[in-house]
Amino acid sequence: MRNSVSKSGAAAAPARESSTTKLARFFPNATPVRIPVRLTRVANGSGAFSESTVIEFGTPTEVLFASTLPLEFADKLRLRNSDGTLDTEACVVAVQYNGGRTAVAARFTGEVANWIVKPEL
Q: Is the pLDDT of residue 70 over 50?
A: yes
Residue pair 34/62 in contact (Cβ under 8 Å)? The answer is: no
| Selection from 48, 49, 92, 88 nearest residue 74 by Cα | 92
Compute the distance between CA of residue 97 and CA of residue 114 in angstroms, rounded to an integer: 30
Give the tens place of pLDDT for each residue, 2-20: 444 445 555 554 567 789 9
* Between 26 and 117, residue with greater pLDDT: 26
Per-residue pLDDT averaged across 59-82, rounded?
A: 94
| Selection from 4, 17, 10, 113 nearest residue 60 by Cα | 113
What fold does the segment set 35-108 form as a domain? Thrombin, subunit H (2.40.10)
Helices (H) and strands (E) in the chain, counts: 1, 6
| Selection from 90, 88, 32, 43 nearest residue 70 by Cα | 43
Q: What is the pTM of this model?
A: 0.81
Q: Side chain identity at 88, as an amino acid letter? A: T
Residue pair 105/93 in contact (Cβ under 8 Å)? The answer is: yes
Q: What's the residue count for the chain? A: 121
